[in-house]
Chains A and B, each alone.
Chain A
């Protein structure tokens, strides 16, 4: 049973525009959410996280928004750059850190 869902397998955005990646979850016990970025043949790399006590966290070009009532989070990348092209995984846990539940990922392509 997939508790974290990324319903868009792929997304294409022009360089300089905003990329918005979406994620939904079903388990109301989740209180810690993360985004990981993955290049081919490499392991996932931590990007940004948010705990359930916040509704927004920003780090440079990356912002994560959390809507607890809708059990939805999104990652905004602005401005998008070609180097951002990768697979993005949303993950969630009921405690910080371990036993992360991952979505299936969204493949982002940023075109020049």
Chain B
């Protein structure tokens, strides 16, 4: 079946611009997560949704980062006033419940020039 889909796969933007990254989870998965992976590091937790609400956003680095999941399915990660340090691979994952293993998408590679 279809896995977690993330678009775009690559995004290059200029410093100061706004970007949106999209995640389509596996159908029926209620839990959705965003992680960020910088070069040479493991994935770093950003935010977790259970249904439409953000159950834990403690990993968001600052208020330039925001994520939504308005209908409990697709989620969008929004980054305002991008900085070069935001360059990373942004990974989305979903799971059937919060007690199930995470299924990751292939990520969006964001490059801020």
Contact = CB atoms under 8 A, between A and B. Distances in A.
28 contacts: A34-B101, A36-B104, A43-B106, A43-B107, A44-B91, A44-B104, A46-B103, A49-B101, A89-B42, A91-B42, A96-B99, A97-B31, A97-B99, A97-B101, A97-B102, A98-B31, A98-B45, A98-B55, A98-B98, A99-B56, A99-B59, A100-B35, A100-B45, A102-B35, A102-B42, A102-B43, A104-B40, A104-B41
Interface string B28-72: 000101010000111111001000000110110000000000000
B95 interface: yes
Interface in B76-105: 91, 93, 95, 97-105
A101 B46 CA distance: 11
Interface of B: 4, 31, 33, 35, 40-45, 48, 55-56, 58-59, 91, 93, 95, 97-107
Nearest to A32: B99
Contacts of B93: 43
Contacts of B101: 34, 46, 49, 97
A41 B102 contact: no
Interface size class of A (residues with CB under 8 A): 20 to 34
Contact of B56 (A42, A49, A98): A98
Contacts of B45: 98-101
Contacts of B106: 41-43
Contacts of A44: 43, 91, 104
B34 to A, nearest CB: 11
A4 B31 CA distance: 23
Given A97-B31, A97-B102, 19 more contacts: A34-B101, A36-B104, A43-B4, A43-B105, A44-B43, A44-B91, A96-B100, A97-B100, A97-B101, A98-B45, A98-B55, A98-B56, A99-B56, A100-B102, A102-B35, A102-B43, A103-B42, A104-B40, A104-B42
